[in-house]
Chains A and B, each alone.
Chain A
Amino acid sequence: MILGVLAAGSLLIAFGGGLSAARRTFAVGLVVQAVGAAVLAVVGFWALAEGSAHGSDFTGSPTPHLGLDPLSAIFLGTLGLVAAPALVFSLRYLRNDGPGRATGALTAAFQLAMVLLLCARDPFTFLLAWESMTLLPATVILVARRADPTARRTVFTYLAITHLGGAGTWVAILLLADAGGLDDPTVIESGSGLQVAIALAALIGTGTKAGLMPLHAWLPRAHPIAPAPVSALMSGVMIKIALYGLIRIVVDRLGILPVWFGILVLAVGALSAVGGVLHALFQHELKRLLALHSIENVGIIVLGLGACLILRSRGAQTPAALALGAALLHTVNHAVFKSLLFLGAGAFEKVTGTLELDRMGGLLRRLPWTAGAFLVGSMAIAGLPPLNGFASEWLTLQSLLRVVLRGDTADGAAGALGLAALAATAALALLCFAKVVGLVLLGPSRTPEKTGPAGHPAGPQGSGEDFATRASTVFLALTCAVLGLMPGLLLAPAAAVAPWPSERPEGLGLDLPGAGNLPAPGLGLVLFALTALLLLLRGRRTAAPAPTWACGQVNEPALLWTGSGFTGPARVALRAVLRPQREVTVKSTGGVLQEVTCHLHVPQLIDERVYRPVARRSGTVAACARRVQSGSLSVYVMYLIGAVVVLLGAARAGWLG
C-alpha cells in the first residue's frame, strides 16, 4: 500500500515536471508537482509512524532493488514537506519562459533523484541517484543563470569539489557491498580496518556533499546562486540526504564503531557549527548568509550523530538512540526553517531587487505575511523557544551532556567541547539573526517601493506578496511552530529508527527516559497566554512614531545601522581567529578631506589557507601533465597502444595476479 502511494506521488512529480516544460501547462505542472510532493510527505511520515520496512531489503547485488524503511521515510517525509511549499512558491517566482520552464522540469527530476536515492536498496541504484542528485541542481543553476560567467565558474567549483570528495561515497558503498555489509551488517567486524576504512570514506564522501567543514567550500558559493525554490531544496533537503547516506552507513550498516571515530565526528560537527555561524555573522548577502548557516546546522546535526556514536560505543543504548533522534529531529527542523528563510529571501529579492543586507529594510511593513513568516524562521534558526530549532538544539545539548557523564576522559572532554561549541553556536546564531531581522525587516525601507529585481518579475501588485508566496511561507512558519510545540510527535519515531533496542520517549513534549523533560506544549501555552494578555492590555493603543535621536544631527540614511556596524564588536573580539582585512581609502583635495572609504572583509580562512594553495599547486602539476596532451589524434592512439602493451607485459610477467 505504502509503496503504491509512493509510486503514485513520484509519478505525479514526473508528470508535473513534463507539464512544467510546456508554456501552456507550466503553472498546472508546478501544482501537480506540489501535489506529488505532498503525497511523498504523507507517505514518508506515515511509514515513519508505522515503523516497519517495505519493499526490498539492502543487498550487495548490482540489480535494482527499491524499498522504504523508517530511516528513509523520515527523509522522504522531509523532502515532501519542503518541496510542496517550494513548488507553490515557484508559481509566482519562476517566469513562464525558457529558463523558467526548464527549471520547473529539472526541479521534478531533482526531486525524483532524491526519492530514488532514499529508496535505493542496492549499490548501483544508490550511486546512480547520488550522482544525479549532484548533477541536476548544477544543471538548474546553469539553465537559470546561463548568461552569468561567475555562475558557470561556481558550478564548476561545485562539481569539482563534490565529485572529488564524493569519491569517498563510492569507496564506502562499494567496499560495503563487496564485504557483504549491505546484505548483513554483522559481517563486518567491529574495530576492524575495513570497518574504519568504510566509515572514514563515508565521512569524507557524504560530508563533502553535506557541506561539513573543511569540505564545505562549494556550499556558500552554489546555494545562493540557484533560484530561491531550488536553493530551498538544496539547503533544506539535498544536504540532509547526504547526511542520510552517512547515517545509513555508519549507524545502520557498520555495527559499533570505535570511540575515536565518534570523537572525530563530534569534532567535525563542532568545527562546522562554529565555523559556519562565524562566517555567516559577517556576511552581507542574505542568501550567502543562509547558506553558511546551513553549514552551521549540518554541524549541529553531526554533533548529535557524534554523540550517538560515542554513546553507542559505550553501551548506552537509550541515550544513543535519543542522540540519533535529536540529530534526525534537527534534520527535519532545519529543512523546514531553512527552506522558509530561502523562500523569504527570494520574495525579498523580488521586491527590493537586491540581497544585500545593507540595502534592505522595512520589509515587515511592506510584506507583512512573508516577512512575519521570515521572522518566525529567524527565531527558529536562532534556537528561540518555543520554536522547532530550540527543541532539537535542546535535545542535542542533552545528548552531549550524556556523553560527558558517561564517557571516559577523552570522549568526556570531547563531549564538553561539543557542549561549548553548541552553546557558542546558539549565541552567535542569535546575534546573526538579530542583525538580519534588524536590517531586513525593521527600520525604514532603503529601496524604492516598486523596484523590479534583475531577472525576476515584480509581484502582481508590485509588492511580491501574492497568495502563493504567502501560503508557502506561512505554511512553513506554522510547521516551525507545530514542531516546536510538539517535538515529541517526531522524536519518538525518530529515536526508534536506531537499529538497536532502546526505551522510547513519550508524549508530545520532550520527556526523555532517564533524563529531564521539557514540557514544550505547556511552555507554548504559557507564552501564548502571556502574549494574549499583553495584547489585551495594550488594547487599541499604538506606539507614537517619533524620530530617532542622533545626537542632534539630522537623521540621514548614512547613519542607519549596517551589517558591519552591528557585528563590529564581535569582529574585534574575534580578530585573532578571523583575521579580518580592512582597507581604508582617504581622498583629499588641497589638504581638505573629501572622502573616506572603509572596506572590511572577513576571509574564509579554510579557503585562503587550504584550498587556494592546493588549487595553485594542482594547477602547476596540471600544467606539467598537459604536455602529454598534444592534441594529435595519432599520439593519443600511440598512448592507447602503449597502455595495451604495458598491461599485456605486466600480465605476462605475472604482476597482475
Chain B
Amino acid sequence: MSGFFSWAMVGLGLGVVMVRRRSMAVGLITLQSLAIVALALREAREAQDLIAAAGIAARAVVLAIVFLLLISRTREARAVLPSLAPLRRGGLAVVLALGLIWLLSGSGSGPCADDHGRAAISLIAFGLVTSASHRATVFQILGIVLVENGLALVVLSMPGTSWLIELGVAFDLTLLGLVAGVFHERIFVEFGGGDTRVLRSLRD
C-alpha cells in the first residue's frame, strides 16, 4: 500500500471530523470504506480474502443506505452545531493522533512502524474525536465506524488474519449501525431533534 493511499485515507477521516453536514460525513466515510475494499481486493491472495473484502463492501453499502435513510427521515429543524469550531476539532484530532502514534512507536516495531500503521492509528484517533466533539447523534455512530475503518486498515496489513473475524466484525458493525439508527429515530421522536445534549435530562 502506497504512502499516498494511506494519507488519502487520513485526509478523508479528517474530513469527517471537520464537516458539519451529516450527509457529507456519510459520503466521506463510505468513500473511505470503499477505498479499504479496493485495497483489500488488490492485496487479496486467496478466495478467503475476497470474501472478507466482500463483507467490508456489504457493510459499507448497507451502512451508507441506513445512514442516508435516517438523515432523510429525521430532518433537523435547526442545525445541531458541534461543541467546537471545525479548525479546533481538526487540531484536536491531529494532536490526539500524533500523541497516540508517539505513545505506540516506542519500540520501533508494532503498529506505528510504517505509514500504513500510522494512518490506521490516526483514523482511530479521528473516530474518537468525532464522537467526542459532535453533538449530533448520527456523528456518534459515524465516529465508531471511523474507528472500525482504522482497525480494518490494521487488519489488512496483518497476514493470516481469519476472514471469519473480519466478516464477524463487519456484521457486528452493521448491526450496531442498525440499532443505533433505531435509537437515533427514537431520540428524534421523543426530543424533537438528534442532539445528544438533550439526553442529559435522562441522567436522574
Write the residues of chain A forming the contact surface with B, with a CB cutoff of 8 angstroms.
629-634, 637-638, 640-641, 644-645, 648-649, 651-652
Contact = CB atoms under 8 A, between A and B. Distances in A.
A633 B196 contact: yes
Interface residues of B, number: 23
27 contacts: A629-B203, A630-B200, A631-B200, A631-B203, A632-B196, A632-B197, A632-B200, A633-B199, A634-B131, A634-B132, A634-B134, A634-B196, A637-B131, A638-B132, A641-B96, A641-B128, A641-B129, A644-B100, A644-B128, A645-B96, A645-B99, A645-B103, A648-B100, A648-B103, A651-B103, A652-B103, A652-B106
Given A631-B200, A644-B100, A645-B100, 14 more contacts: A629-B203, A631-B201, A632-B200, A633-B140, A633-B196, A634-B83, A634-B133, A634-B134, A637-B128, A637-B132, A641-B96, A641-B132, A648-B103, A651-B103
B158 interface: no
B41 interface: no
A657 to B, nearest CB: 14
Nearest to B197: A632
Contacts of B104: 648, 652
Interface in B17-49: none
Nearest to A640: B128
Nearest to B124: A644
B77 interface: no
Contacts of B135: 634
B98 to A, nearest CB: 12
Contacts of A644: 100, 128
A640 B135 CA distance: 17
Contacts of A637: 128, 131-132, 143
A443 to B, nearest CB: 52
B128 A631 contact: no
Contacts of B201: 631
A651 B103 CA distance: 8
A637 B196 CA distance: 12
Contacts of B87: none
Contacts of A634: 83, 131-135, 196
B121 to A, nearest CB: 10
A322 B203 CA distance: 57
Nearest to B143: A637
A546 to B, nearest CB: 66
B153 to A, nearest CB: 18
A654 to B, nearest CB: 9
A633 B200 CA distance: 8
A637 B82 CA distance: 14
Nearest to B196: A633
B202 A631 contact: yes
B72 to A, nearest CB: 23
Nearest to A639: B132
A630 B196 CA distance: 12
Nearest to A653: B106
B120 to A, nearest CB: 15
Contacts of B106: 652
A631 B200 CA distance: 5
A637 B139 CA distance: 13
B123 to A, nearest CB: 14
Contacts of A648: 100, 103-104
A178 B103 CA distance: 32
A96 B132 CA distance: 51
Given A631-B203, A632-B196, A632-B200, A649 B132 contact: no
Contacts of B202: 631
Nearest to A626: B203
Nearest to A634: B132
Contacts of B131: 633-634, 637
A406 B99 CA distance: 68
Nearest to B133: A634
